[in-house]
Amino acid sequence: MVKILVAEKLNEKGLDVLYASGMDIVYNKDITREELLDTIHEYDALIVRSLPIVDKELLDKATKLRVVGRAGNGVDNIDMEAATNQGVVVVNTPDSNSISACELTIGLLIAACRNISEANNCLKHGEWGRSRFQGVELSGKTLGIIGLGRIGTLVANRMKAFNMNIIAYDPYITDEQFARGRAEKKERLEDLLREADVITIHTPKTAETLGMIDREQFAMMKDGVRVVNCARGGLYNEEALAEALKSGKVAGAACDVLSKEPCTDSPLYAFPNFTVTPHIGATTTEAQESVGICVAEEVVNALKGELVANAVNMPVLKNEDLLTIKPYMRLGELLGKIYHQLQKKPVYKVAVDYCGEAAELDTGMITRAVLRGLFEPILKEQINYVNAMKVAEARGVGVIESKEQDAGHFPGLIRVKVYAGQRVYRYCGTIFGLDDPRIVEIDGYRFDFRPEPNMILVENVNKPGMIGKIGTVMGENNINISAMQVCPGGDNEVAMMTFGISREPSEEQLENIAALDDVLKVRFVEF
């Protein structure tokens, strides 16, 4: 039975979704690293939040693992490269906790400007001290946002209502995204650092962003600046932050995240104007329920082989695109499957042309489906949508996509060209109606057939009587034909016949057909 390990606390509604799937669920929210390493080989899927480290050591032992579900947004606790190489799909819940993280950011921002936590502590320790806690207003000030993605944009839009002037630095987004955040674009981080009265960071933790706010960057900031980090620990160098708090350069700082977590002791904790929370950005009833349900649904769908919207190591698909892309993925996989069942030469390049309505789709997943189909007959379960590109690369197979408007008389067409030896082999297909795949060309032979699970392809001399002869031998061998088509080749001398049949024929039965006069080649093809 398919087995899922939930290795960190998960909302009850998410657990309900898992139990309802009928799969075997092990909920061990306090599992130790040792236990995880010892038992991971038993599981098909693993669900974590941010504490368990899903690194190469763990993945190497996870011989059955197909899916890692991250109940949350950041995937910095998961070795994406190792997961991808191993064909393990990683899913997360990028939208489910953004509002909660944004709202905590604003809470911290105000705390840093109004000394809320320090005032709270003093009062609870018997000191009224009202005059000590003079803060600053946000209205009319400049907020600098580093990283204007989902959460950065939510913060920007809300802080407009505080009458703040918003500036942002994010070298990876378009001008439209700056406009959506109603933020003035800063081309250089330095410009943001010099102009902002309050700074908040919302980037992921990457090699580039780790420690991106260091001594040099703090030195560029305005005296008395306030800084917030509700994204990932380590984006601000914590030693540099401590020095800036000590010197007064930074008048107030607030962080929900620290470079090492859990962290119950840090030099930063000594500063009264440093407010800290234990990574609770997503810890709201709404976010946890939404994250729990979302990750559970994604993991179950991924295990069932269905497409998932939030797969981190595959192209992300919008829910509304899934319906149109799915039939073309199926078609791409069917077309990919043909080559290795007909030819034995090593492939060095695959080109996929998307024509007509197929060209309008987000084709990344369809190309992966073509590759999965292509390699499946020779690699079996080692190839999936996650590692398809990597497998092609590792095998030295170049992959090219192109798009063209003209699909001939079809609404949409996929043309798969497989380069091997001196030749290019072409396989084309289309979708009839909403989701009915048809093969319309096999290497120069034009057809219009629905791929059946079991098919026989026969090449023969193009002369009268061949259909009858071959049909008779099939009948004598108890092979039931469910569909049949014939196509003369371009030179009219040879033809190809395709037969949909009820079951896989034996070698001997295929040989009986191949032994007929004027039959040139007989191949069994599975779709």
# residues contacting ligand NAD (CB under 6 A):
32
Site string for ligand NAD, 171-210 (x = CB under 6 A): xxx----------------------------xxxx--xx-
By the rule CB under 6 A, 49 interacts with ligand MLT: yes
Nearest to 104 by CA among 294, 291, 286: 286
In the list 98, 217, 324, 363, the residue contacting ligand NAD (rule: CB under 6 A) is 98
Query: Binding ligand MLT by CB under 6 A: which of 21, 50, 203, 259?
Result: 50
Looking at this protein, which amino acid is placed at residue 193?
A: L
12 included as an active-site residue = no
- Does 14 participate in binding ligand MLT (rule CB under 6 A)? no
Site track 24-63 with ligand NAD (rule: CB under 6 A), x = hit? ----------------------------------------
Cα 145 to Cα 138: distance, rounded to the nearest angstrom: 14
Is 41 noted as a catalytic residue in this protein? no
CA-to-CA separations, 375 to 343, 437, 523, in angstroms, rounded? 13, 20, 18
- Asked if 328 and 401 touch (Cβ cutoff 8 Å), the reply is no
> 14, 52, 152, 281: which one contacts ligand MLT (CB under 6 A)?
281
50's contact among ligand NAD, ligand MLT, none, with CB below 5 to 8 A by partner kind, is ligand MLT
3-state percent breakdown (helix, strand, coil) of the chain, nearest 5: 35, 25, 35
Q: In this chain, which stretch among 71-79, 108-116, 459-467, 505-513 interacts with ligand MLT, using CB under 6 A? A: 71-79
Distances (CA, A) of 90 to 87, 108, 136, 435: 9, 31, 43, 27
Contact between residue 248 and residue 272 where contact means Cβ atoms under 8 Å apart: no
Calpha distance 495→488 (Å, rounded): 4
Taking CB under 6 A as the rule, does residue 267 contact ligand MLT? no
- 282: contact with ligand MLT by CB under 6 A: yes
**Under rule CB under 6 A, residue 74 binds ligand MLT:** yes
Choosing from 66, 202, 279, 415, the catalytic residue is 279
Residue 273 vs 277, nearer CB to ligand NAD = 277
Does residue 192 sit in helix, strand or coil? helix
Distance of alpha carbon 338 from alpha carbon 380, whole angstroms: 14
Write the DSSP string, 402-433: EEES--TTSSEEEEEEEEETTEEEEEEEEEET
Among 230, 245, 338, 439, binds ligand NAD (CB under 6 A): 230
CB 497 within 8 A of CB 485: yes
With CB under 6 A as the contact rule, the residue among 73, 115, 217, 387 that binds ligand NAD is 73
- Subset of 458-517 contacting ligand NAD (CB under 6 A): none
Comparing every residue's Cβ against ligand NAD, the nearest one is 149
CB 109 within 8 A of CB 254: yes
- Residue of the chain from 282, 331, 334, 510 that contacts ligand NAD (CB under 6 A): 282
Q: Among the options 66, 114, 202, 232, which is catalytic? A: 232
Question: CA-CA distance, 455 to 501, in Å (whole number)?
Answer: 6
Stretch that binds ligand MLT, among 15-23, 57-65, 70-78, 136-144 (CB under 6 A): 70-78
Residue closer to ligand NAD (CB basis): 147 or 373: 147
Q: Catalytic one among 184, 243, 261, 401? A: 261
Q: Please report whether residue 387 would count as binding ligand MLT according to CB under 6 A.
A: no
- Give the integer Cα–Cα distance in Å for 115 and 123: 12
Residues paired with 526 in a beta bridge? 454
Number of H helices, E strands in the chain: 17, 22
Active site residue 261: yes
Q: Does residue 372 belong to the site contacting ligand NAD (CB under 6 A)? A: no
107 binds ligand NAD (CB under 6 A): no
Cα 263 to chain centroid, rounded: 30
In one-letter notation, the amino acid at residue 75 is V
User: Length of the chain, please?
Assistant: 527
Judged by beta carbon, residue 74 or residue 272, the one nearer ligand MLT is 74
96 vs 384 by CB, closer to ligand NAD: 96
Stretch that binds ligand NAD, among 6-14, 141-149, 369-377, 506-514 (CB under 6 A): 141-149
Sign of the four-CA dihedral 386, 391, 392, 394: positive
Compute the distance between CA of residue 169 and CA of residue 147 in angstroms, rounded to an integer.
6
Q: Is 386 helix (H, G, I), strand (E, B) or coil?
A: coil
By the criterion CB under 6 A, which residues form the site for ligand MLT?
49-50, 72-74, 97, 281-282
Hey, which residues are catalytic here?
232, 261, 279
Q: What are the residues binding ligand NAD (CB under 6 A)?
A: 73-74, 94, 97-98, 101, 146-152, 169-173, 202-205, 208-209, 230-232, 256-257, 279, 281-282
